Amino acid sequence: MGIIAWIVLGLLAGIIAKAILPGDDPGGIIVTTILGVVGALLGGFLAATLFDVQVNQEFFDLATWGFAIGGAIILLLLYRVVAGGKRRRA
């Protein structure tokens, strides 16, 4: 699966992560989708490194989607902790 497919997958993973974790994010939908793309890449990297799962074979593979969405959720939570904490102090 090429980089364009990972970007598309990441955009969709970011939207799904936002649907799973609704709330007021500091960055809005643009930052959420960017976090989705980075999260998809992170999820794919972690799957290959830690679990020896090859997620880059097919676009419609359940493992690929699971790790991409999982990575997007992790990054969204981290972003909420970092950016949300700064917003509350101001």
pLDDT tens digit sequence for 25-80 = 667 778 777 887 888 788 778 877 887 777 666 667 777 788 888 888 888 888 88
Identify each DSSP E strand in the chain by its residue range. Answer: none
How many other C-beta atoms can be found within 10 angstroms of the C-beta atom of residue 62? 9
Cα gap 12→45, rounded to integer Å: 18
Residue 16 or residue 59, greater confidence: 16
User: What is the tally of structural domains in the chain?
Assistant: 1
Range of the structural domain that residue 18 is part of = 3-89
Query: Which residue's structure tokens are 């699971």?
Result: 66
Q: Which pLDDT score, from 0 to 100, does residue 33 have?
A: 78
Cα gap 12→33, rounded to integer Å: 8
Element (H, E) at 43: helix 28-50
Q: Which pLDDT score, from 0 to 100, does residue 13 have?
A: 85
